Structure 1
């Protein structure tokens, strides 16, 4: 299997980093909005369903004709990508955000890089680099430290909620690898994002039916409807950015999205919800950023000494 590598010249590198930062902020903002909705009585599954349905419908207006999306390969891609990258982590996150706060939930989105890196190197999708591994380990250990500190501050919370939070990084890591390996050639990121979101919405509708979760209720007032619509628009932007990043970069680079979202999640938790964090948690945040910086510096140096032909990106998608 070919190594998924690409040489980022300064301008493309600025583009992917801009997309990563924007996407991380959008994810953190969506978690904050979900806390607003779920604390007002909307089930997490219901919220995730409308979020993905609205976002997928918006992107569908600008994507490929529906008949071109209805082939077995794309439908399989949409289903697996939707479950691993959206449905499982988002429903879990939306449920936990009302129990553990935006900060802790955001940290769960920071854990996939190390697992994605190990999976990618074992499959030959990423070149081995001890420096990159060290940087990712520092970031993940810092996240674990933050979790332990946050757990001590949330002594009334059930340990089961903290353990269930691990579903988020586990599912995201699988999704990161799958989307890169199975990326359909000659298909635009907007089409892939639309199909993935709509497949996720269908899966969530089936899950809601099996669990007797109402998708529509008279208890959902105008305020909640506005939040859901805003969430749908932000989700459309976020997942369009996500697929653009995954088209331009490796799965390990993309997996760092969670760390960016985690930092923004803590900041939004402080500004929006007046959550308070100890000095040790902020030191952990600095360690996360340092670890990711070290990891990406290793990638840049590796790319500068092992330049890849321009056609690699297209070869990777075939």
Structure 2
């Protein structure tokens, strides 16, 4: 892995992943609008990303481990972090706006916080909760204009809500099951290959051929873009997960939301709420507090300690 990535602050990597995810949402919507089936689009996304990561692995001489600890991790991280969210995105983005779906991703940090608290049977620190809530407030400012949902069936809205929930499950799973000493590139490669095996089995096990899942030439660039973004974002994902926990990583959702809303307004002429720049500043504040770059006032920490005692 590049030394630049290893030396980059966690917050910078979180922002980068969020922007990549927002761009990926945009490309996924283009594929959905073209009528490509969700499973077909997911197959090409994972295939291209797997090829890219395999090439990087051979070049860097990094190999993903194959043992009883890593193989379940590959499949769990893949289903929750790759196939599940991508499949939901391909399905719903044909029916809901990019801005609306991106806005729902802001629920991922709160879901992650709640699931982590349930598993650990204790509340994470007050500082992290305050940082997450500040981030949520920042994104809310960007979405004050609202979204037109009168023509959207409730089924698609409900399915859209599964996206941030599955992402949250992935954040927690990767955090708790992360193999000791795991290499981010090796883990990303193994995770995507596990999903390529799973999706190929689903497609070709029901009698599909390569011709049945072909992509129109006009969409090749879009599909290639999704695959490339997937490869890069998951290498960065496992690097961040190596250095922080699921609650910290979950803030990717905030930056994915803002980039998705901004790109949706530009590419699809979707409504853009006022205060995008202000919300971005608030987001940076929430990120700094959650990751410990800024501290909450001592009086708040002392009150929290007395309540827990």
Instruction: Give the TM-score band, short-chain normalised.
Output: 0.7 to 0.9
Alignment correspondent of 2:285: 293
Q: Please give the per-residue CA displacement for 1:34-81, whole angstroms capped at 9, x wherever unaligned.
A: 111221121122111111121122112233779863323211111111
> Are the equivalent residues in 2 in contact too, given 1:88–1:167 (CA < 8 A)?
no
| Matching residue of 1:88 | 84
Looking at structure 1, the residues matched to 123 and 64 of structure 2 have their Cα atoms a distance apart, in angstroms, of 35
CA distance in 2, matches of 1:159, 1:148: 21
Task: Go from structure 1 to structure 2 and tell me whether the alpha carbon gap of 1:218 and 1:122 turns closer, same or farther (over 3 Å shift).
Answer: closer
Q: 2:98: which partner in 1?
A: 102
**Aligned residue in 1 for 2:304:** none
Note closer, same or farther for the CA distance 1:187–1:157 as it changes in structure 2 (3 Å cut).
same
C-alpha contact 1:39 1:98 (8 A) present in aligned 2: yes
> Quick check: 1:129–1:298 contact (8 Å CA) kept in 2?
no
The aligned residue for residue 182 of structure 2 is: 187
Distance 1:298 1:182, change over 3 A: closer
CA gap of 1:98–1:120, structure 2 versus 1, over 3 A, is same
* Alignment correspondent of 1:115: 111
Instruction: Give the aligned CA root-mean-square deviation in angstroms.
Output: 3.4
Unaligned ranges ≥5, structure 2: 299-309
Say whether residues 1:74 and 2:66 are aligned partners.
no
Q: Give the TM-score taking structure 1 as reference length.
A: 0.78
Judge conservation of contact 1:79–1:199 (CA < 8 Å) in 2. Answer: yes
- Equivalent residues of 2:139, 2:258 under 8 A apart: no
Q: Which residue of 2 aligns with 1:271?
A: 266
When residues 111 and 68 of structure 1 are mapped into structure 2, their CA distance, relative to the original with a 3 A threshold, is closer
1:35 — aligned with what? Answer: 29
1:156-199 deviation per Cα after TM superposition (whole angstroms, max 9, x unaligned)? 01111111112111111111111111111232101101111121
Matched, 1:240 2:235: yes
State whether residues 24 and 229 of structure 2, in contact with CA within 8 Å, keep that contact through their aligned partners in structure 1.
Answer: yes
Count of residue pairs brought into register by the alignment: 291
Unmatched runs of 5 consecutive residues or more in structure 1: 1-10, 306-318
TM-aligned CA distance change 1:87 to 1:17, over 3 Å:
same
Q: What's the CA shift for 1:233?
A: 1.4
Deviations 1:228-287 (A, max 9, x none): 1222112111111111111122211100001100000001011122212344xx57x955
Separation in structure 2 between the aligned mates of residue 219 and residue 295 of structure 1, nearest angstrom: 41
Question: For the structure 1 residues 85 and 189, does the alpha-carbon distance in structure 2 shift closer, same or farther, using more than 3 Å as the test?
Answer: same
Alignment match, 1:310: none
TM (normalized to structure 2)?
A: 0.80
What is the 5 A alignment of 1:1-318? 15-63=9-57, 69-124=65-120, 128-137=124-133, 139-140=135-136, 150-151=146-147, 153-208=148-203, 216-217=211-212, 220-279=215-274, 282=275, 286=278, 290=282, 293-294=285-286, 296-297=288-289, 299-300=291-292, 301=294
Deviation at 1:220, TM superposition (A): 2.7
The CA distance in 1 between the partners of 2:101 and 2:283, in whole Å, is 20
- Report if the CA contact (8 A) 1:109-1:169 is conserved: yes
